[in-house]
Structure 1
Amino acid sequence: MPTEFAARVFALVDGTDAVGFSRLFALQGRMRFGNAAPMTGPEEIAAGIGAFFSTIKGLHHNVVREWYTGADAIVEETVDYFRLTGDTVTVPAVTMWHIDETGLIDDFRVYVDLAPLSA
């Protein structure tokens, strides 16, 4: 069962709410998704994640395990990607983030191989 914050993160992502997700970030918060270039700040994150969302029909995160130490989180998950073609691809992923002193994300990283999504 994900923690309250993790559940909020994944609900926004699974709802393809790029703007809502970006509001979880500090002004200089950084996000790196897979091997893409890092995005900095809520506006850039919303634009980048929104562009990705336009390439799929939807997605769903299934949390496997979570680890926390202080303000740092590591979440192992499987992610179901619903392709525009109607089929589903499931891949393993790990998401890590750090929460700053204001309660916002200042560093967010997603480690995932999306090659199966385009195969």
Structure 2
Amino acid sequence: MSHDEARRVFQAVDTFDPGEFVRLLAEDVRMVFGNAEPMLGHDAVTKGLRGFYATIAGLAHKIVRTWQVDADTVAETEVTYQRLDGSHVSIAAVSIWHTRDDGLISDYRIFIDLAPVYSG
């Protein structure tokens, strides 16, 4: 997956519409967000994203760098979250995903500490 394709992944997330992101995922996707339990499949990911999006007012990813080894991509990002009170906080994150031969993501992991988003 090239840097442009990584940009497409994060643009889908930043739409704040879980359906946009889920379109990039295999039906049997496994997604792990931070230290949360794994979400398995489209329905679980959609539900999980809706729940998360309800706790923030918006987000935007800035890609710092990407690495690719075969079908695996690692993306270092700076994610700016808009809190429900209108303030903003930026946090470093790393996302790792595996893309199948058909172009769909089958495994997606996000490594981030969200504490600053919810602390005063």
Distance (Å, rounded) in 1 between the aligned partners of 2:97 and 2:105: 7
**TM-score, normalised with respect to structure 1:** 0.95
Q: AA paired with 1:18?
A: P
Give the structure 2 partner of residue 67 of structure 1: 67
Q: AA paired with 2:13?
A: V
* 1:45-56 correspondence to structure 2 within 5 Å: 45-56=45-56
4+ residue runs over 6 A deviation: none
1:44 equivalenced with 2:65 (yes/no): no
Q: Retained in 1: the 8 A contact 2:7–2:63? A: no
Q: AA paired with 2:103?
A: G
| Aligned residue-pair number | 118
Q: AA paired with 1:3?
A: H
Give the structure 2 partner of residue 95 of structure 1: 95
Q: Give me the CA root mean square deviation.
A: 1.0
Distance (Å, rounded) in 2 between the aligned partners of 1:21 and 1:76: 18
Give the structure 1 partner of residue 111 of structure 2: 111
Give the structure 1 partner of residue 16 of structure 2: 16
Q: Please state how far the C-alpha of 1:4 moved relative to its aligned partner.
A: 2.4
Q: Which runs of 5+ in 1 are unaligned?
A: none
Distance (Å, rounded) in 1 between the aligned partners of 2:24 and 2:9: 8
Distance (Å, rounded) in 2 between the aligned partners of 1:79 and 1:57: 13
